[in-house]
Amino acid sequence: MDRVSEIRANLSAVRAHIEAAARACGRDPAEITLVAVSKTKPPEDVRAAYEAGQRDFGENYAQEYAQKRAALADLADLRWHFIGALQSNKAKVVAGCALVHAVDRASVAEALGKRAAAIGMVQEILVELNVGGESSKAGVEPGALVPLVSAIAAQPGLRLRGLMCIPPPIADDEAQRGFFRRLREARDVLRARDAAVELLSMGMSDDYRLAIAEGATHVRVGTAIFGARG
C-alpha cells in the first residue's frame, strides 16, 4: 500500500473505533475530536490525512510546529493543537493555534496570555493535570490546580476550556481508567464554577477507547494513524 492509502486506512479504522467506543457507553461520537498527532512525521503525511478528511492535528515541539504550519499554510481550515510541554519562551510561536493542551505553570500561562493579548486574540487552553502521582512528572499537582486556574483567570488573553493528562501506561485497564476518571472528576469540580471548562483531552493510541468511556472530548492519536516514530 502506498503511504496515502495507508494513512487513509488507519484513519478510517481509528474513526470506527472511536465511534464504537462512544456508542458502547451511550455517547454521541460527534462529541469526540480526533487529534491526529503528527510529531516527527513530514508535512506530506499531514496533507495525506487532511485529504482523507482529518482536520485537527497535534504537534509537540514549537520549532517543528512552526515549520509544518508554514509548509501547510494553504490548508486554511486545518486546526493545529499544541500538545507538547510548553516553555514561556515558546509562547510566541504557539499563540494562535486552536488549542494549547498542556499548560502546567503560571509563568507559561502568563507568557501565553500576554502574547495572545498582544496579537488581539483570546487563546483557548487546557491545563495538564498530573493524575499519575510520582510515576509521572509532567502536569500541575492536584493541590496546585486551583491557584493555577486563578492565575489563568487573571489573563484576559486566555480562556480555560478544560483539562488534559498523560497518565503512565499500565497493563491493567481498570487502573488505567482510574487515571482518566480522576481527570474527569477534577474537570467536574471546575465546571461547576465555570461552564466553559468542559473539555477533556485524554487517551492516546493504546488507551483512547478507555478514555472515551470516561468522557474524553479530545483523543490524541499518533502511532495508530501515522505508524511508529523512528
Ligand X SMILES: *Cc1c(COP(=O)(O)O)cnc(C)c1O
Residues that bind ligand X (CB under 6 A): 37, 39, 60, 83, 166, 204-205, 220-224
Give the integer Cα–Cα distance in Å for 80 and 10.
20
| Residues sharing a CB contact under 8 Å with residue 107, sequence separation 6 or more, in sequence order | 88
Residue with Cβ nearer ligand X (80 or 157):
80
In whole angstroms, the minimum distance from the beta carbon of 195 to ligand X comes to: 26
**Neighbouring residues of 180: CB distance < 8 A, sequence distance ≥ 6:** 131, 165, 167, 200, 202, 203, 207, 210, 211, 213, 214, 215, 216
Q: How far apart are alpha carbons 130 and 183 in whole angstroms?
A: 9
Compare residues 157 and 219 and give the one whose CB is closer to ligand X. 219
Cα–Cα distance, 193 to 103 (Å, whole number):
20
- Write down the least CB distance from residue 30 to ligand X, Å: 21
- CB nearer to ligand X: pick between 136 and 205: 205
Q: Least distance (Å) from ligand X to the CB of residue 220?
A: 4
Given the complex with ligand X, which of 9 and 189 has the nearer CB atom?
9
Closest separation between CB of residue 186 and ligand X, Å? Answer: 18
Residue 37 or 125 with smaller CB distance to ligand X:
37
- Closest distance of CB 203 from ligand X, Å: 8
Cα 34-13-168 angle, rounded to 5 deg: 55
Identify the residue whose cell numbers are 492509502. Answer: 5
Q: Tell me the residue nearest to ligand X as measured from the CB.
A: 222
